[in-house]
């Protein structure tokens, strides 16, 4: 997953990506569109988006869910923006796949 995203931005850009995930999850929760398969796809996408886990999969599921709901084209392109930008620092993806600072090893005795 780390190979998909160059970095996981924090501060302003990270909060912007968090806001993008939250808005996309809210767009999937439109009343009246929750029936059968659409409900299952949208519920899974909303859960993954809110957590910021498996962002590429959740963006694809969000696009499918919005398409099944009959959303207009600009709203269908919103998951594409998330797919290209990545999850950001405030997500489970950043915790699981982000870069880690490794401590220095003590020099070998000898």
The residue among 70, 73, 68, 81 whose CA lies nearest residue 24 is 81
What is the residue extent of each domain of the chain? 8-97
Q: Cα–chain-centroid distance for residue 56?
A: 7
pTM for the whole thing? 0.70
Looking at 26-35, 63-72, 74-83, which range is the least confident one? 26-35
The residue among 103, 89, 37, 109 whose CA lies nearest residue 45 is 37
Query: Could you tell me the CA-to-CA distances from 65 to 2, 38, 53, 84, 98 in Å, in that order?
Result: 26, 6, 17, 18, 28
Percentage above 90 pLDDT, the chain: 0
> What's the confidence (pLDDT) of residue 32?
59
> What's the confidence (pLDDT) of residue 2?
46
The stretch 66-84 carries a mean pLDDT of 86
Contact status, residue 49 vs residue 21, Cβ threshold 8 Å: yes
Tell me how far apart the alpha carbons of residues 19 and 21 are, in angstroms, rounded to a whole number: 5
Looking at 45-49, 59-63, 77-81, 96-100, which range is the least confident one? 96-100
The stretch 71-91 carries a mean pLDDT of 84
> What is the tens place of the pLDDT at every residue in 20-57?
888 888 888 876 555 677 788 888 888 888 888 888 88
- State the pLDDT confidence band at 103, using cuts at 50, 70 and 90: low
């Amino acid at each position: 997953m780390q190979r998909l995203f160059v970095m996981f931005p924090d501060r302003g850009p990270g909060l912007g990506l968090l806001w993008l995930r939250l808005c996309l999850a809210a767009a999937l929760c439109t009343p009246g569109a929750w029936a059968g398969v659409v409900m299952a796809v949208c519920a899974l996408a909303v859960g993954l988006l809110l957590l910021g886990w498996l962002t590429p999969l959740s963006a694809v599921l969000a696009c499918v869910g919005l398409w099944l709901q009959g959303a207009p084209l600009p709203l269908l392109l919103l998951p594409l923006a998330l797919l290209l930008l990545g999850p950001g620092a405030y997500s489970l993806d950043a915790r699981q796949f982000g870069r880690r600072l490794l401590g220095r090893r003590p020099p070998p005795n000898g």
